Structure 1
Amino acid sequence: MPYDYQPFPYTAPPGLTAPEPRHKVVIVGAGPIGVAMALELANYGVPSVVLDDNNVVSVGSRAICWSKRSLEILDRLGIGDKSVEKGVTWKVGRTFHRDKEVFNFDLLPEEGHKMPAFVNLQQYYVEEFLVRAALDNDLVDVRFKNEVVEVDQTAEAATVRIETPDGEYSLETEYLIACDGAKSPIREMMGLDFAGELFEERFLIADIEMTADTPSERWFWFEPTFHPGQSALLHKQPDNIYRIDLQLGWDADPVEEKKPEKVIPRIEKVVGHSDFKLDWVSVYTFQCRRLERFVHDRVLFVGDSAHVVSPFGARGGNGGLQDVDNLGWKLAAVLEGRADSGLLETYNTERTYGTDENILNSTRSTRFMTPADGAERLFRDQVLALAAKAPFARSWVNSGRLSVPCVYPVNGADDKALPRVSRPGAVAPDAPMGNGWLLNALGGRMVVLALGCQAPEVAGAEVLTPEITDEIRRRYMGEAEKTVYLIRPDQVIAARWPYVDRTAVEATIEAIWRGE
């Protein structure tokens, strides 16, 4: 294998020899979402303990497509530049019907953004970068080979019982965050289950190592000649690794289909030769499901433990990082006493809203790619036939709508004459700013962004008055001479006004901390 899977060190935890004091936060799961959660909390000065039953990064590429928003979040956590440098940057996707291209798209046609539209980077690299950052952070205590086997909670705290190679111990924590994946043991221990849709379809994932000059693009085929009647996807990754997804059908035997003697002939048909090495294989089933609630008193669910979606559209890992983005500042505020626990309810409402949007898009993609016999298949086939001839129909071809952050339904003031891209509820769009980038000047606290005017000092926020570049004017001002924005700690726009109104800004900040 090109990647060298090295175990992380196990250290006997102090709780084996004496009871530990109550921790502020315990996170279960040292995958990319769990460790990102710990680093995000550390950015706010909140210490955490991360528990994982394993001591090595996940095997296989798994999540590979990291969106622009995810890269912006990873940048805050200190690994954004490293991820972009190691990954394969892309923004163009091409969709084919049989051997003819019917549709293509450019996810970031304009300049003036620090981060690219997408980077392909194997999950094991992202995990490694995050874990090493966490091991260097004094506020993060990562404990490998620590398996949570029991969870309980009261009104004041949650308690977990943990098994290690040296015995058992318990931890008490003000909040327990479950980042333990789609098969979450924490969810099972609490008797919780997903609601949603399981699709009767299976796909094969294969990572192969080969030398090729394939461009850095996303290629998707409906009914390709090399895989008749089904669909296929190709992505380029670092280290000469290529991801190939092949639709198998519901009747395919998952165990049989993972055997090399079954996989290799299929791949040979895709790439047209046998000069490759098989690196990793998996078979998965499409599903779009979530917990009814992500907040259960002292236990909070984040990432795949809270929701799962079909992989086309790259909404799984990216959605998990958006959970981290939303929860970190809110939990920190509650722990610091700036807000009461009601603020955490907005994590539940906003991220279930975002998850439902992901599920809707993923469900539509799944039904287009794997239509049921009858009306669904007729519609899909007619759209593909029409798209080959009529440009207006090409945007109807759905091979996975790629992940973008949702626009939250916030209550803040909105000057609708300003550009739509920077409306309340949206992530603040990036733009060049002097010698840096606007998003690097936002985040971590409430910011009043004053453009074309001088804003007065506002209680509970910092004021930023950058030089107005062409991109800032286009994305934030439009035709306006001046405007004022309130940006939340997660870089989401809370409100905007056509003029300076200190009282309105301060009232909006107070409402946010109250969870309104």
Structure 2
Amino acid sequence: MNKAFKPYPFTAKQYKARVPELKQGVDAKRHAVTIVGGGPVGLAVALGLANHGVRSVLIEADDSVCYGSRAICISRRSLEIIERLGAVEGFLKTGLPWTGGRSFYRDTEVLHFTMPQDENQKLPPMVNLAQYHIEQFLLDAAEKRADLIDIRWQTRVKSIDARDDGATLQLTTADGDYALDTDWVVACDGGRSTIREALGLQLQGTSYEGRYVIVDIELDSERPTERLAYFDPSSNRGSTVLVHKQPDNVWRIDYQLRDGEDAEQAVKPENVMPRVQSLLDMMGEKGEWAPIWITIYKANALTLERYRHNRVMFAGDAAHLVPIFGVRGANSGIDDADNIAWKLAFVVKGLASPALLDSYSDERVAATHENLSYGTKSTEFMAPPSFAFDLMRRAVLSLAVKHPAVRSLINPRQTSAITYAQSPLNVADGDAFAAGPVPGAVLSEYPVTIAEGGQAREAHLTDLVSPRFTALCFSDEGDVPAGFNGLAETMRERGVPFRIVPLSARLHPETNGVHAWDHTGRLFERYDAKPGTVYLVRPDGHVLGRWHNARAAEVEAAITRALS
């Protein structure tokens, strides 16, 4: 075995800093939106804004996409968002899809779980993909939008002067310092956020004492892609070990340090290598392997109380730190980006009141608390914070060997789409619905046939989500409720992006505009829809309101109220 560290099977292109035209040390142009941080969240915000035609400047301190083992699992919901950003092709081509995993207690399998996956789904429940690939694919998409996304590499924020009318950022580069004036700032600068610190804000919550060593190795193996968890394995008694297969023959191994172990000593190669070898022997992996990356991780369950501070918004790790168990970190950040992008775009374009941005904080803070709730439970099981938790875990694992009913307690519930049940934007159901996504939920996926311009193609319901409000109008003949064509004209006059899509039980290719056909015969029943039912969908795919016998005035009022 070669014990020398090997480079990742990925070479990042390095980028040079760009200093704009200056007037007395100040960027000559005042910018509408400045994004601080060029990781997955910052790039997703920039791409989301670009989809609405809004320009942004993206500030990134590094000179390339990241190195090292960070986010590795991208959820179905994130893939749906990334598809709308124009970057999903690389994720699906390179990423390794998986649907479940196995947990072992000592030498016995005690859990085999499967995430929801059926014939209605377009995308896999999860793909494994290292963060350097995630960033590169998003960056590739951003470079295609260079007319709307100005990326400034090797540029650091020294300070920020945040005011009621915007902010001034003091920036430093290898070629000199300058100031940049901007109307809005989106801070996506990570767990050690410079912007958060400069504003004197602190994350609140719990930091756990348990620590994990994270090791990336290169290993050629035919083992299938699934999440593997080992509790008290023979290779590392008293520890918990997680294993994920990644593209390019890279394997991610996370193992818990025992109480009293010195973290500085624990990450030294001479201490890591024997543990990894022992694990691989236990798994029956006989191939040659080499280490690529070693670091240490400590679980945090922390969040800001609010994500909007006047003209500064926080997203991703700058806003919250979520335990890795259940893969909610990067995925929650991508959800942040999807939420803030359309709202900020509408505000910048004068289509909505700045108060719309308060709903970003309301919705995403609530989502973080939901993620933290599940993440905390998983963390306390994976790395027990006290003797009592450890005793409980051992009891559950022991019982699970012979009692299947106990096994669900072992599974760290994987991330899933969040429902904004208490969103101030929601229109409460006035009609009784027996099924279908409630206001605040994302669309439930189903296959449809989409006809447009005389051409028909098989697609899925989420393909109808776009950078606009969408009224899905269920009908028999591909028509729309009375008054809705007038509503569309009113929205056009107001400049509000809006589209009506008839959804019918049979195909009507002669229908003007876009028309969808429920060719499986499942959609009407699953949405408790009948002719005249309308689901109003936000630009991020969440349901704003639904009506069995919709009137144009109700839909117009819902949009107006959301943007007020």
Q: Same fold, TM exceeding 0.5?
A: yes
The alignment status of 1:388 with 2:395, answered yes or no, reads no
The question of 1:452 aligning with 2:469 is answered no
Matching of residues 19-168 of structure 1 within 5 Å: 19-137=27-145, 138-168=147-177
CA 1:161–1:5 in structure 2 vs 1: closer, same or farther (change >3 Å)? same
CA distance in 2, matches of 1:115, 1:509: 30
Give the alignment partner of residue 293 of structure 1, picking from 306, 312, 318: 306
Q: Deviations over 1:15-63 (max 9, x none)?
A: 3776422100001111111111101100001100001111111111310
1:475 to partner: Cα distance: 7.2
TM-score w.r.t. length of structure 1 = 0.95
Deviates more, 1:192-201 or 1:130-139: 130-139
- Secondary structure of the residue that 2:418 maps to in structure 1? coil
Q: Deviations over 1:442-488 (max 9, x none)?
A: 13111110123533223433111121133751674247565210100
Structure 1 pair 201–477 and aligned structure 2 pair: CA distance change class (3 A): same
AA at the equivalent of 2:536? L
Contact 2:44 2:338 in 1 (8 A): no
Aligned length: 512
**Number of the residue aligned with 2:22:** 15
Deviation at 1:294, TM superposition (A): 0.7
The correspondence for 1:498, drawn from 541, 548, 563, is 548
Match of residue 177 from structure 1? 186
Q: Does the 8 Å CA contact 1:230/1:248 hold for their aligned counterparts?
A: yes
Structure 1, residues 296-340: CA drift from partner, whole Å, max 9, x if none? 111110100000011111100000000011111110111111111
CA distance, structure 1, for counterparts of residue 386 and residue 57 of structure 2: 50
CA shift digits 1:37-94 (9 cap, x unpaired): 1011000011000011111111113101000011111111111122111010111111
Structure 2 letter corresponding to 1:184: S
The alpha carbon displacement at 1:282 in A equals 0.9
- CA drift of 1:395 comes to 1.0
**Aligned equivalents of 2:54, 2:320: Cα separation in 1:** 25
> Take 2:442 and 2:525, find their aligned partners in 1: how far apart are those partners?
12
Query: Structure 2-normalised TM-score?
Result: 0.88
Aligned to 1:222: 231
* Equivalent residue runs for 1:255-294 within 5 Å: 255-272=264-281, 273=286, 275-294=288-307
Tell whether the 8 Å contact from 1:432 to 1:471 is kept in structure 2 after alignment.
no
Q: CA deviation at 1:230?
A: 1.3
Relative distance call for 1:15 and 1:177 in structure 2 (3 A) is farther
Query: Do the aligned residues in 2 keep the contact of 1:477 with 1:483 (CA within 8 Å)?
Result: no
- 1:463 to 2:517 alignment: no
Task: Indicate yes or no: 2:239 matched with 1:202.
Answer: no
1:316 maps to: 329
CA contact (8 A) 1:451 1:468 kept: no
Distance in 2 between residues matched to 1:499 and 1:9, nearest whole Å: 57
Aligned to 2:427: 412
* Distance of 2:348 and 2:298 partners within structure 1: 39
Q: Which residue of 2 aligns with 1:339?
A: 352
| SS of residue paired to 1:470 | coil
Cα 1:284–1:449 change in 2 (3 A) is: same
Of residues 241, 247, 251, the one that matches 1:242 is 251
Matches of 1:426 and 1:362, distance apart in 2: 21
Q: Match of 1:6, SS?
A: coil
Question: Does the Cα contact within 8 Å between 1:157 and 1:298 map onto a contact in 2?
Answer: yes
Matching residue within 427, 432, 449 for 2:447: 432
| Deviation larger for 210-219 or 316-325 | 210-219
Whether contact under 8 Å (2:26, 2:180) holds in the other structure is: no
Amino acid at match of 2:389: E
Structure 1 residues 235 and 31: CA distance shift in structure 2, 3 A:
same
Taking a change above 3 Å as real, the CA distance of residues 45 and 102 of structure 1, as seen in their structure-2 partners, is same
Residue ranges of structure 2 left out of the alignment (5+ in a row): 1-6, 450-456, 492-497, 503-515
Aligned to 2:464: 441
CA distance, structure 2, for counterparts of residue 39 and residue 261 of structure 1 = 43
**Preserved contact between residue 13 and residue 143 of structure 1 (Cα < 8 Å):** no
Partners of 1:440 and 1:215 in 2: CA distance: 30
Corresponding letter in the other structure for 1:463: I
Aligned-partner Cα distance in 2 for 1:29–1:428: 30
- Secondary structure in 1 matching 2:258: coil
Cα pair 2:61 2:154 within 8 Å, conserved: yes
Name the SS of the counterpart of 2:292 in structure 1.
Answer: strand
Greater shift after overlay, 434-443 or 33-42?
Answer: 434-443
Give the direction of change, closer, same or farther, for the CA distance of 1:492–1:10 in structure 2 (3 Å limit). same
**Matched residue SS, 1:132:** helix
2:528 paired with 1:484? no
Decide which moves more: 282-291 or 402-411. 402-411
Percentage identity across paired residues of the two chains: 39
In 1, the alpha carbon distance for the partners of 2:132 and 2:241 equals 23
- Residue equivalent to 2:13: 6
Q: Kindly provide the amino acid, as one letter, of the partner of residue 279 in structure 1.
A: I
Amino acid at match of 1:419: A
Alpha-carbon offset, residue 4 of structure 1: 1.2
1:139-184 residue CA offsets vs partner (Å, 9 max, x unmatched): 0000001111010122111110001111111111000111100011
Report how far residue 251 of structure 1 moved: 2.9
Residue 3 of structure 2 aligns with which residue?
none
Asked which structure has the greater CA Rg, the reply is 2
Per-residue CA distance 1:349-368 (angstroms, 9 max, x = gap):
00000001111111111111
Taking a change above 3 Å as real, the CA distance of residues 471 and 156 of structure 1, as seen in their structure-2 partners, is farther
SS in structure 1 opposite 2:517?
Answer: coil
Find the aligned partners of 2:432 and 2:20 in 1 and give their Cα distance. Answer: 55
Q: Equivalent residue for 2:4?
A: none
Aligned to 1:513: 563
Q: Is the 8 A contact 2:448 2:520 kept in 1?
A: no
| RMSD, matched Cα | 1.7
C-alpha distance in 2 between matches for 1:471 and 1:389: 42
Q: Displacement, 1:122?
A: 0.5
Residues 26 and 179 in structure 2, CA contact (< 8 A), matched pair in contact too: no
TM superposition shift of 1:191: 1.0
Q: Which moved more, 1:38-47 or 1:366-375?
A: 366-375
For the residue of structure 1 that corresponds to 2:22, the secondary structure is helix
Structure 1 unaligned segments of length 5 or more: list them. Answer: none
Q: Structure 1 residues 482 and 295, CA, compared in 2 at 3 Å: closer, same or farther?
A: same
Q: Deviations over 1:101-155 (max 9, x none)?
A: 1112221331222211001001001111112221221100000011110101221
Q: Match of 2:495? A: none
Alignment correspondent of 1:363: 376
SS across alignment from 1:234: strand
Shift of 1:501: 1.9
8 Å contact 2:208–2:385 — kept in the other structure? no
Is contact 2:14-2:64 (8 Å) kept? yes
